[in-house]
Structure 1
Amino acid sequence: MAPSTRTADTRTLSGVLVGLAVLGLALSVANVPGSPLRSWNLELFTIFVFPLVISLVAYVRFAESVAWWEVALLAVWGGLSVAVTAFVGFLATMGTPGGYPGVAVELVRNIAMFLAATLGLGIPYGLAGKYRREHPRRTVVSAVLALVVLFTLFNAVAVVTT
């Protein structure tokens, strides 16, 4: 049995979750054209990496105790989920005609993609943490379904906003 550690106070982790979500939205807003923070790296970080961090914090928040290898495995699975989703999203939207849609549309698209990725990974990972002790099979199913939920939400937003 792997050593487990007691998670931090749930109130503290809830605050961290809210703070990370607000920071992700703020980074999406700060990445509009004309901003000194404008960067493709910031946009990719905000849309793909930040939701993964939020989902891992959600797992730790809802699990009573966690083993380090569980979080590492979820991080790898989430990274693979994000990679597959981004690749298929690129293929789904690469043939769309048109030019630059404008600042407002880009802002709405970035916020919608951030929220889709955050909810697509965060909800299944949070449920996996909640069911960790009582229903281990539900935990595995929830974590595996994170790919499906992320894929569906993210690509729906990508196709609709393109």
Structure 2
Amino acid sequence: MAYCTEITDHSMISLGKCTKLKTLESRGCPLITSLGLAAIAVGCKQLTKLDIKKCYNINDSGMIPLAHFSQNLRQINFSFTSVTNVGLLSLASISCLQSMTILHLKGLTPSGLAATLLACGGLTKVKLQASFKTLLPQRLFEHLEARGCVFQWRDKVFQAELDPMCWKLQLEDVE
């Protein structure tokens, strides 16, 4: 249901009744909040993969229930959400978490990121903003890489994404 801009927390609450749900991609659904994410966490305990990128209204109050109830979660992308150090660090309680994509989180500090990376012992892949390379000690990355974690760096500057239809109209105007 990625980029379905009409999806709301009510939809997520209904979806939370799907107890065997393993993968959820609700990327780009701006009406989903932490309340909807909490409903998914409580009801969908088999969830292994979650993509909530660009769900701007999801914050720490959604991540904490996710960390408590989603103990099977292996992969998460929560880029462009309102998650801070607190929500990020709460994910350390998920022992099987292997992959995180963490891009453009306004409430994330280098020390919060470092604490989370150290606390999440099972990480094998982390996608981060390239600016963190210089903000964290090189020894931290060496330690994590020795534990088997691979880092992928993204250097994209934050940009508001154009509406796909608007972009198409602009292209037609140019031709």
TM-score, scaled relative to structure 2: 0.22
Higher share in strand: 2
Higher share in helix: 1
TM-score, scaled relative to structure 1: 0.24
The one of the two structures with greater contact order (alpha-carbon pairs below 8 A, sep at least 6) is: 1
